[in-house]
A = this chain, B = another copy of it.
Amino acid sequence: MTTTGRQLVSTLSADGTMVLELEETTFPEPTGNQVLVKMEAAPINPSDLFLMTTGANLENADYQTGKVTMQVAPQVAKGQSARHGKPQPVGNEGAGEVIAAGDGEQAQALLGQRVACVPGNAFSEYAIADAMMCLPLGDHSSEEGASSFVNPMTALGFVETAKREGHDAIIHAAAASNLGQMLNRICQEDGIGLVNIVRKQEQVDLLKSQGATHVVNSSGDDYEAKLADAIRATGAYLGFDPIGGGQTSDTCLRAMERVAASQMTEYSRYGSNQQKKMYIYGRLELAPTILTPSYGFAWTVSGWLLMPFLGSCDMQTLMGLRKRVHDGLTTTFASSYKTRVNLEEMLTKDAMMDYAQMSTGEKYLVTP
């Protein structure tokens, strides 16, 4: 028995035309440890937008019901040449009800349950998911469980990465995001020092009201000095930057070096020996990353991505992370949404131009 429903598909052509379209799709009967999930809620994360809005001219796109046709900037289209002409389903994660299951024991155990899942086509009426990767939600709603993978695992991954590399304090940029708020709660629970960088006073207030000790406003005149103060207080020489483009990471490295250099007893032309590291884990800005020659040679900038991180964990660690997310679904790992849209509504001009901005605290939830 197969099931039919609409799913969102993104197709980029070599000429730079991108079509986002709700496509009538036939979902096969799940086999083995697969389950078929009737999707009820899925967040629009920045990582989803890469296939939906990155580099696209949304102002002048052609918006039809269930189909948007737009032009993508040539260099962006060129950079994605590997997907030219190949339709890509969209939507990393979401939650819904398991309405069919393969023969496998794990799959059968989920039949009839509400689960969070990571199918890769979450903006859809149905999705085939791997039972291993599903999180049973118990009495929680699909909305409560929709964001239980990407952000929670990423935030936990930062702390795990810090511990692995011998750090007990970290910097986080764009820290008022759902992810940032989770990280703030995790760091408090785990006793990890956290320097939150935000852009607005109201975001300072928000994080402080949630118990944050160090929140630095990058719009303030004395930003770099205050950032250095917070680094001095916490010893944070490792940071995570979702912005990527511009000088966010550069500024953090410079502030780290300012603190390290002030603790040197002797001048060195090569800068301090304090190792300083920034992970870029997103591209909220597509502009090039700028690194000025102002912090010697003891520094590293590196990409950070969730799936390779998870791949580097042993099974016991992974299970521990999942259990922690499950237990804290409505507390530590709670998400909030600005707006709910259905599959048609997510393809309107108003909606797309709004969520494409990826403004902090304005996340959309798709409820097919």
A82 contacts B293, C-beta separation under 8 Å: no
Question: Counting CB contacts under 8 A, is A357 at the interface?
Answer: no
Cα distance A269–B304 in the bound complex, in angstroms:
14
A283 contacts B288, C-beta separation under 8 Å: no
Instruction: Give the residues in chain B near A308, CB-CB below 8 Å.
Output: 273, 297-298
* 1/0 contact string of A54-80 vs chain B (CB within 8 Å): 000000000000000000000000011
Interface positions of A from 44 to 58, Cβ below 8 Å from B: 47, 50-51
Question: Counting CB contacts under 8 A, is A25 at the interface?
Answer: no
Q: Pick the residue among B82, B269, B283, B289 that contacts A290 (CB under 8 A).
A: B289
Residue of B nearest to A48 (CB): B269
Q: Pick the residue among B82, B273, B281, B289 that contacts A297 (CB under 8 A).
A: B281
Q: Pick the residue among B80, B261, B294, B301 that contacts A302 (CB under 8 A).
A: B301
Assess A291 versus B289: contact at CB under 8 Å? Given A83-B267, A88-B267.
yes
Cα distance A83–B270 in the bound complex, in angstroms:
12
Question: Counting CB contacts under 8 A, is A5 at the interface?
Answer: no
Assess A286 versus B293: contact at CB under 8 Å? Given A82-B267, A267-B83, A270-B305.
yes
Question: Counting CB contacts under 8 A, is A264 at the interface?
Answer: yes
Cα distance A303–B300 in the bound complex, in angstroms:
6
Residue of B nearest to A282 (CB): B297
Question: Counting CB contacts under 8 A, is A323 at the interface?
Answer: no
Cα distance A227–B286 in the bound complex, in angstroms:
25
Assess A288 versus B292: contact at CB under 8 Å? Given A267-B83, A308-B273.
yes
Question: Counting CB contacts under 8 A, is A245 at the interface?
Answer: yes
Of A86, A245, A264, A270, most B-chain CB atoms within 10 Å: A270
Instruction: Give the residues in chain B near A244, CB-CB below 8 Å.
Output: 293
Question: Counting CB contacts under 8 A, is A280 at the interface?
Answer: yes
Cα distance A298–B303 in the bound complex, in angstroms:
6
Cα distance A50–B269 in the bound complex, in angstroms:
7
Question: Counting CB contacts under 8 A, is A296 at the interface?
Answer: yes
Of all A-B residue pairs in the complex, the 3 with the closest CB atoms, nearest first, are A297-B303, A289-B291, A297-B305
Besides A280-B297, A283-B293, A297-B303, 11 new A-B residue pairs in contact (Cβ under 8 A), listed by A number: A79-B293, A82-B264, A88-B269, A244-B293, A288-B291, A289-B291, A291-B291, A296-B303, A297-B304, A299-B302, A301-B301
Task: Provide a sorted-by-A list of 27 A–B residue pairs whose CB atoms are within 8 angstroms.
Answer: A47-B269, A82-B267, A83-B269, A86-B267, A88-B267, A244-B293, A250-B288, A270-B307, A280-B297, A281-B297, A286-B293, A288-B291, A289-B292, A290-B290, A290-B291, A291-B291, A291-B301, A296-B303, A296-B305, A297-B303, A298-B308, A299-B302, A300-B300, A300-B301, A300-B302, A301-B302, A302-B302
